[in-house]
Structure 1
Amino acid sequence: MASTASDTVRVWLVERTYSDDEQNLIILTYATTDGDRYFRKERALTSFTDARDTTAAIDADPGNLGAVGDDHLQEQYAAEAQRMADAHDPDDVI
């Protein structure tokens, strides 16, 4: 697990989905490169002109990370996080 400072953990974008329950809600899932922990970020789009960049990685507070309890999902997150880390700089807009 890469840490950029003693109080944050770098997590990489592994999934972007649209909520079925809420209109205009995008769910961004970031994970550590070992797939063990994840961070979920929900973003409401207020209009078509609402332009907020989604970056390849963010630095998250460890207290805001959840544990991935499913082995298959952990492998999937690890593979995608590592792929993103290999292909992008953290600040790349995705």
Structure 2
Amino acid sequence: MTDDTVRVWLVERTYSDDEQNIIILTYATTDGQQYFRKERSLTSFSDVRDTTAAVDADPENLGSTDPEDREAYATEAQRMAAEHDPNDVI
């Protein structure tokens, strides 16, 4: 992490309803206030890309978490931070 980035932790992994083979990874700050969303398209069964416990995101790419999700995101981000190193493959 640098002074120009914010560490966010994996809090949710879902599959897109709209398109096939899209995985949506949601990372959040440990206070649950902000989130970072990453979409991945899987092009084949052999397309393997690791998902890490945390990523360092540009603050401009963070969104404000919906109030109803904040507590759950904070709880999960704090759990991930306590149990994993940022580069652990999840």
Same fold (TM over 0.5): yes
Aligned partner of 1:74 among 70, 73, 78: 70
Percent identity (aligned)? 74
CA distance in 2, matches of 1:41, 1:67: 15
The amino acid of 2:79's aligned partner reads R
What is the aligned partner in structure 1 of residue 38 from structure 2?
41
Query: RMSD value over aligned CA atoms?
Result: 0.6
TM-score, length of structure 1 as denominator length: 0.94
Residue ranges of structure 1 left out of the alignment (5+ in a row): none
TM-score, length of structure 2 as denominator length: 0.98
What is the aligned partner in structure 2 of residue 53 from structure 1?
50
Count of residues paired in the alignment: 90
Written as runs of structure 1 = structure 2, the 5 A alignment for 1:12-27 is 12-27=9-24
Deviation at 1:5, TM superposition (A): 1.6
Residue ranges of structure 2 left out of the alignment (5+ in a row): none
CA distance in 2, matches of 1:46, 1:22: 12
